[in-house]
Amino acid sequence: MTTTTQPAAATKALPKLPWSRHLLVTAVLAVVLIPLPMLLDPAAEAVAIRVLLFAIMSISWNIMSGFGGLFSFGHAAFFGIGAYSTAWLQVEKGVSPWIGMAVGVVIAALFALVMGVLALRYKLKGAYFALVTLAFAEMLRLWATNSDLVNRAVGYHVPLRPEESWWWMQFAPDSANYFFIALGLMILGLLVSILFLRSRAGQFALAARDDDEASAALGIPVVRYKVLTMMVSAALMATAGTLYLQYYLFIDPDLAFGSAMSIQAILPAVIGGVATIWGPVIGAVVLGPLTDITATLLRNPPPFLDFLAGRGGLDVVVYGILLVIIILVLPKGIYGALRDRWSRR
């Protein structure tokens, strides 16, 4: 081949990598959002916290199912482990939720390790893999519902403390501190997903998602990196469980491990754009306020919707319709579609 000795000067400079830009946007986002609680009334702040919670959950789902290509239908398993670890340690043992969060992160990652090794060792793919994740979450739900260890179907109320405390992660209901914690966790989630993708492990995970045989032929231990991706995702999801518990002060098996929670982790990423850094955040911003908008609508319904006054479920109906429309019209999600349009120009 004659090109071998061609001087390097003849080649184009290597294109810039997107990571520093992603990190910059993350930093800007953090700085811009910090003063937000001063501008929001308590109701709007509650919506903002729900948006952040959605975003954390969906960033987590996106790591495993978007970047890792391992479709999870049971992300509630990791969420519930986080929430229940925190609740159990706090209520039964008097341990700070921060430590509970750390314990939940570790247990969730170990749970993902077991689940991943089992499912991937037996080469489950596609729908079969998704069904295994669903089955594991359901088994946890059924176990928690009938286990004295975790208070059966009753679940846990976090005991109210007389004064605000960072150590106990408990504040007045409209305190901005909940917002700051949620924001911190979401920024952490973004950093995790950006830095993971940039790392060797993340690159191997992407390659394994695209083609596991070709990856293995290059010497990449595919199962190891897929399981690692699941563990990173699970760990992040567990922190959302702790946050949920501390903010709403209550958890039970159906809330924690039920498929509604898994679905809430899936929807923002799909609507914003699967396998993109910003898709889950954009999806969360779209979906988070819907519950309040529909609830307001049904509290004072327009005349033709009168018969629906006080009913629930409209928000999820809208989620469902959005989901179907997005899949049919914008299969790459909002961010994915916008990105394609920009890069085509």
**Binders of another protein among 59-98, rule CB under 8 A?**
65, 71, 73
Q: Which stretch binds another protein (CB under 8 A): 46-54, 124-132, 161-169, 228-236?
A: 124-132
337 is a contact residue toward another protein (CB under 8 A): no
Tokens of 73: 């239908």
- Per CB under 8 A, the list member of 163, 213, 299, 303 interacting with another protein is 213
User: Helices (H), strands (E): how many in the chain?
Assistant: 16, 2
Instruction: Tell me, letter by letter, the H, E, C secondary structure of 82-118.
Output: HHHHHHHHHHHHCCCHHHHHHHHHHHHHHHHHHHHHH
In the bound state with another protein, the residue whose beta carbon lies nearer, of 59 and 326, is 326
32 is a contact residue toward another protein (CB under 8 A): no
9 is a contact residue toward another protein (CB under 8 A): no
Instruction: Name which of residues 257 to 296 contact another protein (CB under 8 A).
Output: 259, 263, 266, 270, 274-275
Tokens of 275: 């396998």
In the bound state with another protein, the residue whose beta carbon lies nearer, of 24 and 153, is 153
In the bound state with another protein, the residue whose beta carbon lies nearer, of 136 and 171, is 136
Tokens of 206: 């992407």
How far, in Å, CA of 52 to CA of 49, rounded? 5
In the bound state with another protein, the residue whose beta carbon lies nearer, of 34 and 323, is 323
Tell me the one-letter amino acid at 62: N
- Per CB under 8 A, the list member of 44, 99, 145, 174 interacting with another protein is 145
> Which residue is listed with tokens 């754009």?
273
How far, in Å, CA of 83 to CA of 303, rounded? 41
| Least distance (Å) between residue 179 CB and another protein | 28
220 is a contact residue toward another protein (CB under 8 A): yes
- Per CB under 8 A, the list member of 33, 206, 249, 337 interacting with another protein is 206
DSSP 8-class letter at 289: T
Q: Which helix (H) or strand (E) covers residue 156, if one does?
A: strand 156-157
In the bound state with another protein, the residue whose beta carbon lies nearer, of 11 and 162, is 11
12 is a contact residue toward another protein (CB under 8 A): yes
How far, in Å, CA of 268 to CA of 256, rounded? 18
How far, in Å, CA of 312 to CA of 316, rounded? 9
**Cβ burial, residue 78 (10 Å; 0-12/13-18/19+):** buried
18 is a contact residue toward another protein (CB under 8 A): no
302 is a contact residue toward another protein (CB under 8 A): no
How far, in Å, CA of 334 to CA of 92, rounded? 44
Three-state DSSP at 302 gives coil
Q: Which stretch binds another protein (CB under 8 A): 23-31, 42-50, 77-85, 138-146?
A: 138-146
Instruction: Name which of residues 153 to 192 contact another protein (CB under 8 A).
Output: none
In the bound state with another protein, the residue whose beta carbon lies nearer, of 115 and 176, is 115
In the bound state with another protein, the residue whose beta carbon lies nearer, of 91 and 124, is 124
- For another protein (CB under 8 A), the number of binding residues is 76
244 is a contact residue toward another protein (CB under 8 A): no
